[in-house]
Amino acid sequence: MPTAQLLLHCPDKPGILAAVTDFITVNKGNIVYLDQYVDRVDHVFFMRLEWDLDNFLIPREKVEDYFTTLYAKKYSMDFKLYFSDRLPRMAVFVSKMSHCLYDMLARYTAGEWNVEIPLIISNHPDLKLVADRFEIPFYVFPITKDNREEQEKKELALLAENKISFIVLARYMQIISDDMINAYPHKIINIHHSFLPAFVGAKPYHAAFERGVKIIGATSHYVTSDLDAGPIIEQDVVRITHKDSIKDLVNKGRDLEKIVLSRAVLKHIERKVLTYKNKTIIFS
């Protein structure tokens, strides 16, 4: 049974929640999900709402229009409307490491995720075999300092052609330019192999080893033009000891990376993430 999914935020005022839920129920929409949160410092109201479309009186193609006219303007809302049967379309960018890619493709194939993955892009040919195994088109765009702009243009054309709605960087070892970031604002998900903001940048496991930390982490975040500084979606950690070598850290971290990235991607696929002021609201 298809549902409509509404995410919004607006200045907090009395009666918003009542007004919005009223809109759904008066029009015979059966609410199947509601989570809301009020930032009591900044006075901002956040909500995610989901309702069955079956007996809903407003045709789905007119919902956005009606909601804008009746509520969004009145309450200065910033909102997004999705339908559960229009799956998000995800592109995966990889380089040479396969663990995150395998983890996501296994979930995709097993039907864990309501998503389409029309293509995989890489700057190296190494993981073509993995893509072939799962019968997903694989495109190689080798990147050098000199050709980045040109190659990204081709990539953007390919993404547009495939109606890609968001991108996952699955240990993709290349800088993404601002042009691509601006084309997919808060729609590019990266996995960084440290507990951010500790160990920003390259070789975080080496840095963690040098510092002698007792716990390492991984962080999944939306990519912004600030390196490793975009809104954090999910983090997790694992305990290490003095006995762990850098290689042990890399091994333990690999499991963290794939789990943390997949949790973040799932939340995005479920349309349960709102970004606000370089942070994320994660609905339950």
Task: Quote the tokens at residue 30.
Answer: 């059966």
Q: Tell me if residue 228 is catalytic.
A: yes
**DSSP letter assigned to residue 232:** E
Helix (H, G, I), strand (E, B) or coil at 36: strand
Binding mask 253-272 for its own copies (x = CB under 8 A): -xx---x--xx---------
CB-nearer residue toward its own copies: 55 or 76: 55
Judged by CB under 8 A, which of 4, 49, 103, 166 binds its own copies?
103
Helix (H, G, I), strand (E, B) or coil at 47: strand
Task: Quote the tokens at residue 222.
Answer: 């939306």
Position 225 contacts its own copies (CB under 8 A)? no
Position 197 contacts its own copies (CB under 8 A)? yes
How far is residue 234 CA from its own chain's centroid? 10
Task: Quote the tokens at residue 157.
Answer: 């054309």
Judged by CB under 8 A, which of 83, 134, 139, 177 binds its own copies?
134
Q: Give dist(CA 213, CA 259) in Å, integer.
A: 21
Q: Give dist(CA 265, CA 31) in Å, integer.
A: 25
Q: Give dist(CA 166, CA 80) in Å, integer.
A: 15
Helix (H, G, I), strand (E, B) or coil at 272: coil
Binding mask 142-181 for its own copies (x = CB under 8 A): ----------------------------------------
Of the residues 22, 178, 228, 248, which is catalytic?
Answer: 228
How far is residue 268 CA from its own chain's centroid? 4
For residue 153, the minimal CB distance to its own copies (Å) is 32
Judged by CB under 8 A, which of 98, 114, 174, 177 binds its own copies?
98
What is the enclosing helix (H) or strand (E) of 282? strand 279-282
Residue 92's nearest CA partner among 125, 129, 117, 123 is: 117
For residue 256, the minimal CB distance to its own copies (Å) is 10
Position 234 contacts its own copies (CB under 8 A)? yes
Within residues 20-79, the interface with its own copies by CB under 8 A covers 21-22, 25, 30-32, 34, 36-38, 40-41
Q: Where are the alpha helices (DSSP H) in 68-127?
A: 73-75, 99-109
Position 136 contacts its own copies (CB under 8 A)? no
Position 239 contacts its own copies (CB under 8 A)? yes
Residue numbers of the site for its own copies (CB under 8 A)? 14-15, 17-18, 21-22, 25, 30-32, 34, 36-38, 40-41, 98-99, 102-103, 106-107, 109-110, 112, 133-134, 195-199, 211-215, 217, 231-237, 239, 241-243, 245, 251, 254-255, 259, 262-263, 278-282, 284
Q: Which active-site residues does the annotation give?
A: 228
